[in-house]
Structure 1
Amino acid sequence: MSTSPSTSASDGAPEIDERTKRRAFIICVAVAALTILDLSKVNVGLPSIEASLGAGPSELQSIVAGYALAFGLALVPAGRIGDIASRRTMFLIGVSLFTLTSLACALAPNTTFLLIFRFLQGIAAGIQMPQVIGLLQQLFQGAERARAFGTFGATIGLSTAFGPTIGGLLIFVGGEQDGWRLLFWMNIPLGIALLFFAARLLPRKQMAPSGPADLDPVGIALLGGAILTLMLPFVLTTGGPTDDPRRWFFLIGAVAFAAAFTLWEHRYADRGKTPVVRFALFKLGSYRNGLLIATAYFAALPATFLLTTLYLQQGLGLQAVFAGMVTIPFALVSAVTASIGGRLVEKRGRSLVVTGLAVVLVGFGLAVLAATLSPRELTPWLMAAALAVAGLGGGFVISPNQTLTLADVPVSEGGVAGSMGQLGQRIGTAIGVAAASSTFFSTLYAEGGGSDAGLAIYHDSYRNGLLVSLSLIAVALVLGIFDLRQRVKAA
């Protein structure tokens, strides 16, 4: 049943007319797409950056990893500030900073400047993304919210899958030497337009948070330390012989920071103040299980696209733009099924997500078979068909899981709850990409691969790397079945 403005008001949220809601929704989804695109489209520009600025392997790794790391660091505090102050204001700050840092990246005269502004761009992404989730929670309720998250999930899937294609096309247009600058120039007119419409159309009022409105700077610092030390060893993992094994000692720091954060937050709450993260949220089975499923799924999805692009470019010798096109069927099919999933999730619930994960597992398995067993001239076409199968299930995962995860979360906690979900996805991405890509490259190095490596070596590398992704999808599937059984018992 459609939710009217009066229904929204009965939930404690300010009344918002339907026309304003639709326009604000379009802005939110567009910003989410722009944010996620920068996680994937820059990957295909690394050879161009190397040729233009003379960047080395560690610097290229940092250009990708720095964005993801900064993204993860900013998510939770930005979500908390948006919840207690103004999501609209934080949204405008995030989009403004994202646009300015994109301009700085496009004009970067050397690698050092690019690294610095790429990190700042990641912080901007971490500021704006939790506001998107919080605003969707604020704007929609009930079945309307499910449909909204259906479209949102379709957008995330399209952005993730289309990123390599868009990046490859811009490199093709701009040339190998300076084509990478177009990856950042693209954000500037889009960012300015979104900033203009956001300032005019986003709601100025929001539901006040329950309880005291504290920022808890000590808790934010401790959580930041835990995120940094957890993600850092994974984003520094390349699978090459120069990887420093001492990087794993950072995980000891992650455990120490996490323990200190948990202890501080409990004591902070006992003093009658509001902590950064309400641990009571994790008592909600729908929220806790949904976060775990999303973390495992996003550990597998970007890693799969990255390895597929590497295999097609390095193994089969396809140009970046054509390698990126192989992922288009996944994007298109998942967009359709995500929209359908948004309508079915109220009726099918967690079983829809479980079905989707099973189909994704089959589709990615078929991609491995197509890559390693088919004739070379047919491989890209068969891999595209396999990814279409995976996309059929993928649309039933992201948006329905998002809806189920936030279904029982109060609207006033929407920003921080959504940012924790995004944080789980970013951590999952860092771990999954590190595990899958290091497996890919370690197999390549172990079998004597290099610029003149034979296709058989790339077969082995791709197969071994994709086995990591398939294992992570299997973990998400097991978690989904566990949550489904819990819901059946509760019913």
Structure 2
Amino acid sequence: MRRLGAQASGPDSAASPALGPLGLLTLLLGAALPMIDFFIVNVALPTIERDLHTGPALLEMVAAGYGVAYAVLLVLGGRLGDMIGRRRLFLIGTALFALTSLACGLAPNAWTLVGARVAQGAASALMLPQVLATIQSTTTGARRGRALGLYGATGGIAAVAGQVLGGWLVAADIAGTGWRSIFLVNVPVAAAAMVLALRTVPETRSAKPARIDVTGTVLLGATLLALLVPLMEGRAVGWPLWCWLLLAAAPFVAAGFWLAERRAERTGRDPLVPPSLLGNHGMRSGLLVALPFFTGFGGFMFVMAVGLQQGLRLGPVSAGTALAPMAVAFFTASLLAPRLVVRHGRRVVTTGLAVQGVGLLIVVAATLASWPHMGPLDFAPGMAVLGFGQGLAMSTVFRIVLSEVPADRAGVGSGVMVTTQQSSLALGVATLGTLFLSLASSVGMRDALVTAILVQVAGGAAAVVLSLRLPRQVR
């Protein structure tokens, strides 16, 4: 078996065509859609609650169902792309994403919307791993580094843009669609992505596709469900016994998954997540940084959406506009990061994480000084600093994690990375969101928001320390 620390290979085969600029843009468009949809629903939740006459438990399932299905199936999606062709599965996933988005937009009641959101998350899990895997298998050297940096930037920009766009769409109430427009807008965009993919994205697959690891898939899914479902739903349903039983079972199921994967690799079978993949220093250290970083990012986006709308009583447009400086600064930093990382290596990540912490503290200071008489401009300085730091860190982390993954394992490597990202985002919503909502009812919205952000600052400090273990230079 090939040693994972070796130089990353190029395309899967010599016949594989290179990925051109328009093909890369098409893939990034496809990647942005599921990332936007993870966050876009945040600003629409109050409107959905009023329109569908639903309670908090069901409302949280609208957000949680998508994230859980997404995280559970991502690694499997990467493996399937290795087997049947990455462009083919990208097209299938995009088509299903369009259909499930249409189902969300036409949902007559809350339970139908929950079911459609779960299906939409599953479709996203088929789409997204193919983006990173195709980049890995059709690019080399500096082109791969730039493409991975742009992918990382797309994730952050899509998250912020999702909430900005969501606010504008809900307020615009196009043809009386209200919140439904945040899902219906996906249909033409997904259709355009499919047409472009047929013309510009080369087909790739693994030269030696691995078989489906049924045991590993079931155990990984059970681990994520046991952890994420009670954390995301526990507060809304009053923390019944089943929540605590699932949380208690989660570490044991995770241990069972890891033992099963080690046994599968040792006996020559095809584990869903090969333990040797995590033996690669760049991937292992990058994932350790990604966990607290994305957990904090997901939690911050959720608590800000709720705090701005329910705490400050800002409308969806104003709430989205407050995040606009963050998106602009993120985009600017992500354009600078690929050049900076060539010269400064891992210090770009460390610096970005430190700058993010400064931005968070500026937001805290503004909140303490001006609450409840705050508008979008009061948040602008902190959001700009915060976004710039995140733009430096996020795009570089993706490049580090995937820089040494061999092309024939591009699917599983990208699946592991994106699963870590999405699970951490969902974990952030569950943990920081639960902390924030619990404190809001006792100490007030302002202090709850400040506390949640300070917890994120602490997590960011841990990420700074962990970033010192990253490879010094990044290919």
Q: Give yes or no for TM over 0.5.
A: yes
Deviations 1:175-214 (A, max 9, x none): 79841110111000111111122123221244413xx621
From the superposition, tell whether residues 393 and 245 of structure 1 become closer, same or farther in structure 2 (CA, over 3 Å): farther
Which residue among 204, 212, 216 is the counterpart of 1:215?
Answer: 212
Partner of 1:4: none
Aligned pairs for 1:17-36 (under 5 A) are 21-36=20-35
Query: Aligned equivalents of 1:241 and 1:176: distance in 2?
Result: 35
Computed over aligned residues only, the root mean square deviation of the Cα atoms, in angstroms, reads 2.2
Deviation at 1:378, TM superposition (A): 5.3
Give distance in 2, aligned partners of 1:483 and 1:155.
22
Counterparts of 1:405 and 1:308, CA distance in 2: 29
Contact kept, 8 Å, 2:90 with 2:127, in 1: the verdict is yes
Instruction: Please list the CA deviations of residues 288-338 of structure 1 after superposition, one character each: whole Å capped at 9, or x if unmatched.
Output: 111121121110112112222222222222111111111111111111111
Structure-1 separation of matches of 2:250 and 2:303: 28
Between 177-186 and 383-392, report the one with greater CA deviation: 177-186
Task: Tell me, in whole angstroms, the C-alpha distance in 2 between the residues paired with 1:10 and 1:140.
Answer: 6
| Separation in structure 2 between the aligned mates of residue 417 and residue 243 of structure 1, nearest angstrom | 35
Q: Secondary structure at the match of 1:236?
A: helix
Mapped contact 2:325–2:383 kept (Cα < 8 A)? yes
Tell me the equivalent position of 1:328.
Answer: 324
For 1:181 and 1:68, the matched residues in 2 are separated by 19
Query: Closer, same or farther in 2 for the Cα pair 1:242/1:175, shift >3 Å?
Result: farther
C-alpha spacing 1:286/1:10, structure 2 compared with 1 (3 Å): closer
Say yes or no: does 1:13 pair with 2:19: no
- 8 Å CA contact 2:286–2:401 kept in 1: the answer is yes
Residue 469 of structure 1 is matched in structure 2 by: 456
Which of 411, 418, 422 is residue 418 of structure 2 equivalent to? 422
> Which residues in structure 2 correspond to 1:52-451 (within 5 Å)?
52-174=51-173, 178-209=177-208, 213-238=210-235, 242-244=238-240, 246-374=242-370, 377=373, 380-447=376-443
Partners of 2:40 and 2:343 lie apart in 1 by 36
Shift of 1:17: 5.3
Distance 1:344 1:13 in 2: 31
Counterparts of 1:417 and 1:11, CA distance in 2: 15
Q: Provide Cα deviations, 1:200-243, integer angstroms capped at 9, x if missing partner.
A: 3221244413xx621121221122111211211221144x6833
Q: Offset at 1:90?
A: 1.2
Q: Tell me if the contact between 1:50 and 1:60 (Cα under 8 Å) persists in the aligned partners.
A: yes
2:298–2:424 contact (8 Å) kept in structure 1: no
Offset at 1:265?
2.1
Kept after mapping to 1: 8 A contact 2:295/2:424: yes
The SS at the match of 1:396 is helix
CA contact 1:219–1:261 (8 Å) conserved in 2: yes
CA-CA distance at 1:109 after TM superposition? 1.1
Q: Summarize deviations over 1:358-392 as a string: whole Å, max 9, x none.
A: 00011011101111113755553231211101112
C-alpha deviation, 1:174, in angstroms? 1.1
State the Cα distance separating 1:52 from its structure 2 match. 1.6
Deviation at 1:266, TM superposition (A): 2.4
Distance 1:12 1:461, change over 3 A: closer
Q: 2:330–2:388: 8 Å Cα contact kept in structure 1?
A: yes
Cα separation, 1, equivalents of 2:175 and 2:470: 48
Give the TM-score normalised by structure 2: 0.93
Name stretches of at least 5 consecutive residues in structure 2 with no aligned partner: 1-7
1:36/1:159 contact within 8 Å kept: yes
User: Quick one: distance in 1 between partners of 2:174 and 2:26?
Assistant: 32
- Alpha-carbon distance in 2 for matches of 1:446, 1:132: 44
- Do the aligned partners of residues 482 and 272 (structure 1) sit closer, same or farther apart at CA in structure 2, a change above 3 Å counting? closer
Give, as a single letter, the amino acid of the residue that structure 1 aligns with 2:271: P
- For residues 359 and 94 of structure 1, what CA distance do their matches in structure 2 show? 36
Deviates more, 1:433-442 or 1:50-59: 433-442
Contact 1:71 1:123 in 2 (8 A): yes
The Cα of 1:284 is off from its aligned counterpart by 0.9
Distance 1:226 1:265 in 2: 14
Structure-1 separation of matches of 2:452 and 2:334: 27
Residues 260/465 of structure 1: CA separation in 2 closer, same or farther (3 Å cut): same
- Where 1:483 maps in the other structure, the secondary structure is coil
CA distance in 2, matches of 1:10, 1:438: 44
Tell me the residue number matched to 1:451: none
For the 8 Å contact 2:292–2:462, the answer to whether it is kept is yes
**How far, CA to CA, are the matches of 1:69 and 1:317 in structure 2?**
30
Q: Is the 8 A contact 1:370 1:382 kept in 2?
A: yes
CA distance in 1, matches of 2:301, 2:213: 38
Q: For residues 270-298 of structure 1, what are the alpha-carbon distances to aligned partners after superposition, in whole Å with 9 as ceiling and x for unaligned?
A: 33222111111111111011112112111
Counterpart of 1:79, as a letter, is G
Secondary structure of 1:277's partner? coil
Stretch of structure 1 that moved more, 421-430 or 197-206: 197-206
Q: Percent identity?
A: 35
Match of 1:458 in 2: 445
Structure 1 282/22 Cα, relative in aligned 2: closer, same or farther at 3 Å? Answer: same
> Which residue of 2 is the match for residue 3 of structure 1?
none
Q: Counterpart of 2:461 in structure 1: which amino acid?
A: A
Aligned partners of 1:390, 1:351: CA distance in 2, in Å? 17
Q: Scaled by the length of structure 1, what TM-score is found? A: 0.90
CA change 1:312–1:23 in 2 (3 A) is same
Q: In 2, are the aligned partners of 1:229 and 1:251 still within 8 Å (CA)?
A: yes
* Contact 2:321–2:376 (Cα < 8 Å) also in 1: no
Equivalent pairs counted in the alignment come to: 467
Map of 1:450 onto structure 2: none
Distance 1:11 1:246 in 2: 47
Please identify, of 197-206 and 95-104, the stretch whose mean Cα deviation from structure 2 is larger: 197-206
The one-letter amino acid paired with 2:42 is N
Post-superposition offset of 1:458: 2.2
| Residues 367 and 446, structure 2, Cα contact 8 Å, conserved in 1 | yes
- SS of equivalent to 1:442: helix
